[in-house]
Amino acid sequence: MAKINLQPLFDNVLVKPLQAEEMLPSGIVLPDSAKEKPQTGLIMAVGPGSTDDKGNPVKMVVKVGQKVMYKKWGGNEVKVNGEEWMLVEQKDILAIVE
């Protein structure tokens, strides 16, 4: 794997989206225009965390290497090593997939 040249700040998480199945059970292949944006991915980098309203540190719950589900419209697309990845706030991560 190539070196990642992007380090998230605060409570941001760099997620590599996992592609959804491209073929329906009936055998029909979906064109790119009909596919939904992936909502699961692998965490590639994690920011150091943030602070709450009182200045207390808020620890990061997620770790590099975990598979997660995130909000459909959460995050920003970023290009990393020629691939489209997502920069997502920790609060927009819905679950850790085990």
Give residue limits of the domains in the chain: 12-97
Judge whether residue 79 has pLDDT over 70. Answer: yes
Q: Does domain 12-97 match CATH 2.30.33.40?
A: yes
Give strand pairing partners of 15.
43, 86
> 70 pLDDT exceeds 80?
yes
What single string gives the DSSP state of each residue in the chain? Answer: -PPP-----TTEEEEEEPPPPSB-TTSPBPPGGGPPPP-EEEEEEE---EE-TTS-EE-----TT-EEEE-TT-SEEEEETTEEEEEEEGGGEEEEE-
**33-67 confidence digits (pLDDT tens):** 555 566 999 999 999 999 999 999 999 999 999 99
Greater confidence (74 vs 37) lies with: 74
**H or E stretch including 6?**
none
